[in-house]
Amino acid sequence: MGKEDMTMTRRMAIRMGLAAVALTCVAAAAQAWGFSHENTVKFSRPVALPGVVLEAGTYSFDVVSPTALDVVVVRSANRDKLYYMGFTRTVSRPRHMSAQTPVAFGEAAANEAPPIAAWYEIGNSTGHEFIYR
């Protein structure tokens, strides 16, 4: 590798490092300023997410980070147990749905837990549609 190639490689590495630091700072600042996406949701019966059934109870729904809004995590209410983490699609809240309604359900057989079709952050006009395969 020539001297010019090494200089270009170093510049690229420095730029990538600075970009990573900037991204980390933006994410940390967003959290410090209170840009939380977390909602606590209580279910009176079992419900389903892709690959998991959540028993009746209270759960924390959140996004992984302010820069990865399409990755949703679902944890226990005290956040000590992870139940689900996966990609979602951004969807608009249906016009007839109250801004205080956190989830929309899909259809299920009478003996199955209904699947959560989408989670809508309280007060937001958009939500996170879960991807079932």
Left, alpha or beta for 81 (phi > 0: left; psi -120 to 50: alpha)? beta
68-76/57-65 β-pairing? antiparallel
pLDDT of 11 above 70: no
Confidence of residue 3 (pLDDT cuts 50, 70, 90): low
Residue 54 exposed, middle or buried by CB count within 10 Å (0-12, 13-18, 19+): buried
Task: Give the Cα separation of 66 and 37 in Å (integer).
Answer: 8
Q: Please report the pLDDT score of residue 13 as a whole number.
A: 52
- What is the spatial order of strands in the sheet that 39-43 belongs to? 39-43, 57-65, 68-76, 82-92, 126-130, 116-120, 103-105
Amino acid of residue 50? P
Give the pLDDT confidence of 60-119 residue by residue, as tens digits: 999 987 777 789 999 999 999 999 999 999 999 999 999 999 999 999 999 999 999 999
Mention every residue, 6+ apart, whose C-beta is less than 8 A from residue 13: none
Give bridge partners of residue 39 from the DSSP assignment.
61
Mention every residue, 6+ apart, whose C-beta is less than 8 A from residue 85: 64, 71, 72, 73, 74
